[in-house]
Amino acid sequence: VEGDFKLILKEWQAEVNTRLMNELDGRRPALLYQPIRYVFEGGGKRIRPVLALLSSKVISGAVDQCWDAAVAIEILHNFTLVHDDIMDRDDTRRGRPTLHKQYGDSISLLAGDGLVALAYQVLLRTRSSQLDEIARRFTDGIVVLCEGQAMDLEFESRTDVTLDEYLEMISKKTAKLLDVSASIGALVGDAEPAEADALGRFAYNLGCAFQIQDDLLDILSDESTTGKTYGSDIKRNKKTYLSIHALNEGTQKDRKRLSSLLGGADIGRDEIDEVKGIFQRVGSIDEAQRAVQHYVESAHRCLDKLRFDRDKVFLLGFLDYISNRNA
C-alpha cells in the first residue's frame, strides 16, 4: 500500500510540474513570466495539489476534473513563498537563491501578484456546479494566510508570545491551506459540504502536525536527509513551538540564557547544542512531540468518520508520508 501511494505521488508530482510549465506557454512580457518560471522550476513536494487530488479521488473515485484546482492551489502556495521570502529577507530556498535575490524586490513582488492572478485563472477553469463555493474557500484561504503572516510578523517584535497564539498563527499560515486543498478537492469530486469539511479537518490537523514537526526537525534532523541547517531557526530567532514553550515554561535562569542565545547571528554548534539542552531539560521537545502525536491522531479520527472506504488507503499513505519525514 505504501508502495502504491509513493507511486501515484511520483506520477502526480510530475504531472503537476508539467501543468505548471504549460500554464506559462505563450504568455508575455518575459519580465513577469520569466521570474514565475524560475519559481516553478524550484520544485517542491507539491503536497497541496496531491492532497486535493486524493480528496477528489476518495469522494468520486476520479481525479480528472481536479487538475486545474490542484494546480491552482500549488500556484497559490508558490505566491506565498515568494512574498514571505521578501518579507523575511530569506536568501535561499530549496538550494537556490530566492526570487528576490535573483530578480530584485520589485519584480518579485510583481511576480507574486501575477501568481495569485494566475492561480485564480486556473482555478476558475474548473468544471463544477460548486465552483462559486470552491472559489469562496480558495479566497478565504488567502485571507487567512495573510492574517497568519501578519501574526508571524507581529511575533518578531514580541517576547511574550503564548503557545495558544503560536498555534493560531501556524493554523492560519500552514494548516488552513491544507484544509482548503482537501476541501476543494472534495468539492470538485462533488462532495456534500459536510464531507468536504471532514476532509478539510483531516488536512488541517495534518498541517498543524507538519509545522510543529518542522520546528522539531530544526534541531533533531540529520542535515543530509532534510536539507535543513541544524539550528537555523535558533540562529534567526524564529519563533517555534520549542522556543515559545521553553520561554514560557523554563526557569528564570533558562529564560535569561535562552534570550541571550536566540538570534545570535554568529552562534555556533556549541551554542545550538546548549539551546537544545535547555529545550530538553524544560520538556519542550517532549511536549512538541506529544503535540505532533495529538494532531496526527486527530487527523486519523477525521478519516474514521468518512463514509468512503474506497481509496482511503491513499489518504493513510499521505498521512504516513507527511508525519514520518525523517523520523
CB of residue 113 to its own copies, shortest distance in Å = 5
Q: Minimum distance from CB of 68 to its own copies (Å)?
A: 13
Options 37, 90, 101, 110; binder of its own copies; rule CB under 8 A: 110
Cβ of residue 229: shortest distance to its own copies, in angstroms?
23
Query: Smallest distance from the beta carbon of 149 to its own copies, in angstroms?
Result: 6
| Binding-site member from 41, 105, 192, 223 for its own copies (CB under 8 A) | 105
24 lines the binding site for its own copies (CB under 8 A)? no
The reply to whether 86 sits near its own copies by the rule CB under 8 A is yes
Contact 38, 71 (CB under 8 A): no
Asked whether the beta carbons of 244 and 220 are under 8 A apart, the reply is no
With both helix axes pointing from N to C terminus, report the angle between 284-304 and 193-220 in degrees, rounded to the nearest 10: 160
Distances (CA, A) of 78 to 14, 28, 73, 97: 16, 19, 9, 15
User: Is the omega angle on the peptide bond into residue 193 within 30 degrees of 0, that is, cis?
Assistant: no
CA atoms within 13 A on the CB side of 252: 0
Owner of C-alpha cell 480528472? 64
Nearer to its own copies by C-beta: 169 or 186? 169
Under 8 Å between Cβ of 53 and 63: yes
- CA gap 325, 282 in Å, rounded: 25
Give the contact letters, 117-156, x = binds to its own copies (CB under 8 A), - = no: xx-xx--x------xx--xx--xx-xx-xxx-xxx-xx--
> Which lies closer to its own copies via its Cβ, residue 170 or residue 296?
170
Interface with its own copies, residue 313, by CB under 8 A? no
Binding site for its own copies (CB under 8 A): 28-29, 31-32, 83, 86-87, 105-107, 109-110, 112-114, 116-118, 120-121, 124, 131-132, 135-136, 139-140, 142-143, 145-147, 149-151, 153-154
